[in-house]
Structure 1
Amino acid sequence: MPEDRNPGESGRTASGMLRRVTGRAGGFLLPDSRAGRTLVVGSFVDALGTGMFMSSATLYFVGVVGIAADRIAWASTLAGALALLAPVPLGRLADRFGPGRFYMVLLILRGLGYACYAFTTQFAPYLVLTMALTALDRASTPIQQAVVTVAVDGNDGTRTMASIRAVRNIGFTVGILLAGGVFAADSRPAFTALFLGNGLSFLVIAFTVRLALSRVAGQGARPPESAAGTELGASPVPSGGVRSPFRDGWFMLFTLANGILSLYDTVLLVLLPVWVMQYTDIPSAVVPLLMVVNTVLTVGLQIVIARHVDEPATAVRFLVVSGVLLAVSCGFFALAQGTTNTVLAVAMVLVATVVLTVAENLQSVAAWELSAVLAPKAARARYLGAFSLAFTGQKVIGPSLLVIALLPAGLLAWPLLATAFGCAAAVSGTSARRALAARVGQPPAVLPSPVAESPVEQT
């Protein structure tokens, strides 16, 4: 007969088990450095507010305010096109004033802008707000990466970026679920509170950035800058300044190739649903399940892969492998389209989604590492802004290219797309090696991670 337990003792045991489980989960998801963990917490708050806003804004402005749906869509398209190049000039300002300080200014401006949606009742101010905020949003991502390179030591920078992406997936999902309460309330004050809360969240994020950078400054553990004022091992910055990233041939070729690899995003979010509904006998209900598989795998894979990127040479190999896997996923999509057995088709699509997800995470982690290495310290935000154009560009061009031009080719579409991925993998690997060699005149295997040599930014 089992021994009776004291209820208080059982409660303490359960509480201890919960702390151990959450501690292990936090240890897996969060980076090692305190500054990195602080930035990840801020990113979770960001994603939480963004998930709530994105899932409710269109419903509010169409169903409550009364703006026509086609005008909302037109505003989004126009804002996206006009904001495409915003990361480059804003990145230049970030390099001039310091990425940490400038990023906090962007966060405050974004917070004010998103809060203003609560008081917007006409299309004209909605359009102005959408255009301004889209430009600020586009510029914030590469500048955030520049902040990470300043705030986080060593290879933990790539781990921090992976953690940020992982917790963003979680925060965005939680935000969408919380927005369901606003839908249920179906009242204007509830939407107003949501928009104001999203605006306030940016102030919280700005505080976490300030806290992370102040912790790094207080540690004073970074190696000082060399006499030339450059990173250890990097070429001295010319007296006339750093050249534009658009004049850096190998870097731009590397950027273009990564833009093609980044088409995995359009394949998953745009091409896959259309293809399932119009070109296969697979039930449409499978599509949301595939999205869940991708999201869940991404949360874990980002962290695991980032732990193994300890030098640029490894990142180059991961980048090439990602292109090969993307081509392989196209093969499984073709098999699914070619079979008349629905169960087999669903199985092939599931395998294709898993392979594509692995490739997606390999590519994103490798791209973070290499783009940071290749960006000169004096122009890091500007270079990262230029590099981000590849991903945002495929979001603009990708849907038309893949759905309108490629899908009508039938089964031939998949080998064509696989060839594009394979070529992009080869070009990205070659251009990255050449750009790395030109960057510091050393083989990629011995290049230091840029975040290990960045001086502490005083904010």
Structure 2
Amino acid sequence: MNAALRRLGDALLPDTPAGRTLAVGAGIDSLGTGMFFASFALYFIGVVGITANQIALATTLAGGLALLAPVPLGRLADRLGAGRFYVVLLLLRGIGYGCFALVSDFTTFLVLTVLLTAADRASSPIQQAVVTSVIGGRDRTRTMATIRAVRNVGLTAGFLLAGVVFATGRPAAFTALFVGNGISFLVVAAAVRYVLRRTGTVMLHRPSRAERDSLDTASPATTVRSPFRDWWFMVFTVGNGVLSLYDTVLIVLLPIWVIEYTSVPLAWVPVLMAVNTVLTVVLQVYVARFAEGTAAASRLLALAGVLMAVCCGLFALGQLSGTAVAIAAVFVAVVALSIAENVHSVAAWELSSELSPPPAVARYLGAFSLGMTGQKVVGPTLLVVVLLPTGLIAWPVLGATFGVAALVSRTAARRSLAERRRPSCVVAPHSTLEVKK
């Protein structure tokens, strides 16, 4: 039994001690997060007395206000150091989520939700910047894949553990859950701080004004462009956002479509969701090995587009067929989409890291994350309200959209990489960096 667990750990966890520590920390983080999100609505509606409409309003406002948060916070992380800033962000999130135990009115709930949503949105790209700084090389994408797989395990465990809180129904149990979630962030902050010190990641000296002037005099191309002025990078970001619509397809569109447009029994919806979760845990680390290098990652983008288009074709078949064929078609479609999701994720991590100039990694990754967060805002309306009512034609339209997005993303990534490799595009380290001793 111990040998089997050891082999499983070796297969799922990164090869480096630093990567393993970051992955375990991510699992602790997601365990607390899973418990919180599975139970917070029940607590604030049933115990505090906040209405469901107020919770929906707070969540919507927070999502809209926090949409652009990763960019300014990423810029701040580049100036202060991604590692240091990420530790501070984890500490603030831990305190903030712990404060939910003290909430007794809607105004406090709204303020906390807005602030923490902004911090959560910025946390993911800054975490990727930390992994890039600490791990680097070929283990960078594998570490990100491991973190995502471990997060899925942690979230699932957190959802199940939240059932204990539901069973008691006591306010004290919810308070302990909120405090425990806050403590999980503090544990992760300590783990990240340990990794930074253990790997020797240190802050580079910020050049003085005279040094910056000499750099500017030496070459006109010594400053880093804003990611919003980096044309090919932003095209890549938009294309990635369109490909990321698979997230809305799985979470929002699929249950509604199964209920209203197919003969598939409703009981199959949680099964299909579980298939996606299990495949993510099993495949995410495995497919990371195929994304080593920009050329390999670009090929994976094309594969992701093909798989997403195939998935749409199978959904169309499921909509046309009787119960038995529909179940089989939808099941295979979810498998194809889950593989595409994992393939796309590792390709996006590899390419976004390579396309981000070293002095502005967190800023660029923050801008890149807008594609994913943007589809979460417009995706449900676009797919469910606009596209789904068109009937069967929705699937070839969506499949073609995925295919074009994959082609555009791949082309934009290649153009951006070619542009960065030109001698005139060499960038000087004008801002604070983090390197290993």
TM-score (structure 2 length as normaliser): 0.93
Match for residue 363 of structure 2?
382
Stretches of structure 1 that go unaligned for 5 or more consecutive residues are 1-17, 221-228, 230-235, 443-453
Cα distance in 2, alignment partners of residues 276 and 153 from structure 1 = 42
> Structure 2 matches for 1:53-452, cutoff 5 A?
53-217=36-200, 241-339=223-321, 341-441=322-422
* RMSD of equivalent CA atoms: 1.6
User: What amino acid maps onto 2:151 in structure 1?
Assistant: R
Cα distance in 2, alignment partners of residues 304 and 368 from structure 1 = 15
Local SS of the residue matching 1:321: helix
Cα distance in 1, alignment partners of residues 188 and 280 from structure 2 = 23
Confirm or deny: 8 A CA contact 2:98 2:178 kept in the other structure: yes
Local SS of the residue matching 2:291: coil
Cα distance in 1, alignment partners of residues 136 and 379 from structure 2 = 36
Cα distance in 1, alignment partners of residues 356 and 318 from structure 2 = 41
User: What amino acid maps onto 1:194 in structure 2?
Assistant: L
User: What amino acid maps onto 1:337 in structure 2?
Assistant: Q
Local SS of the residue matching 2:199: helix
Cα distance in 2, alignment partners of residues 215 and 300 from structure 1 = 30
Q: 1:237 to 1:185 in 2, by over 3 A?
A: farther
Cα distance in 2, alignment partners of residues 455 and 178 from structure 1 = 38
Local SS of the residue matching 1:456: strand
User: What amino acid maps onto 1:250 in structure 2?
Assistant: W
Local SS of the residue matching 1:55: helix
Match for residue 12 of structure 2?
29
Cα distance in 1, alignment partners of residues 145 and 328 from structure 2 = 29
> Could you report, residue by residue, the CA deviation over 1:33-69 in whole angstroms, capped at 9, with x for unpaired residues?
1110010011000100000000000000001111010
* Alpha-carbon offset, residue 310 of structure 1: 1.7
Larger mean CA deviation between 103-112 and 237-246 belongs to 237-246
* Alpha-carbon offset, residue 441 of structure 1: 3.2
Larger mean CA deviation between 100-109 and 432-441 belongs to 432-441
Match for residue 208 of structure 2?
none
Cα distance in 1, alignment partners of residues 436 and 184 from structure 2 = 24
Confirm or deny: 8 A CA contact 2:292 2:350 kept in the other structure: no
Cα distance in 1, alignment partners of residues 340 and 295 from structure 2 = 17
Cα distance in 2, alignment partners of residues 173 and 238 from structure 1 = 51
* Alpha-carbon offset, residue 153 of structure 1: 3.7
Q: 1:48 to 1:455 in 2, by over 3 A?
A: same
Cα distance in 1, alignment partners of residues 220 and 242 from structure 2 = 32
* Alpha-carbon offset, residue 214 of structure 1: 1.3
Stretches of structure 2 that go unaligned for 5 or more consecutive residues are 203-210, 212-217, 424-432
User: What amino acid maps onto 1:408 in structure 2?
Assistant: P
Cα distance in 1, alignment partners of residues 220 and 353 from structure 2 = 19
